[in-house]
Amino acid sequence: MAEMMVTTTETIPGQKYTIIGEVFGLTTQSKNVVRDIGASLKNIVGGEIKAYTEMLVEARNLAMDRLRANAAEMGADAIVMMRFDTGSIGDDMQSVAAYGTAVKFND
């Protein structure tokens, strides 16, 4: 699959397309003991908790890959109006959802 265009805008300039439907990619990541210890120490002195940042970047990338795969399964050429949503599940899990509207270019 070629890299699918994903945009946060409502339209793609110069393109006419038909809406196929909603698509999403979702992942839930868990913290581990090493990250928890590092976070606890950083919480005392302040600053960025790089292990958590890396975890969220990985989760975002995985959610985007799954979003594109979902759209490709539907026969889409692109995704418009893409958004992210994140949330905590309990004390030790973080979810990331990427969602948008799959579209097919008109010939």
Cα separation, 29 vs 100, whole angstroms: 21
Query: What are the pLDDT digits (tens) for 25-69?
Result: 999 988 765 555 555 555 566 777 787 888 889 999 999 999 999
Q: Report residue 85 as tokens.
A: 């949503």
Number of structural domains (the chain) is 1
Average pLDDT for residues 84-101, to the nearest whole number? 89
Cα separation, 99 vs 72, whole angstroms: 14
CATH, residue 18: 3.30.110.70
- What range defines the domain where residue 10 resides? 5-105
Average pLDDT for residues 86-97, to the nearest whole number? 85
Pick the closest to residue 97 from 10, 27, 48, 34 (CA basis).
Answer: 27
Strands 17-30 and 78-89: unpaired
Between 33 and 88, residue with greater pLDDT = 88
**What is the DSSP secondary structure assignment for residue 74, as one 8-state letter?**
T
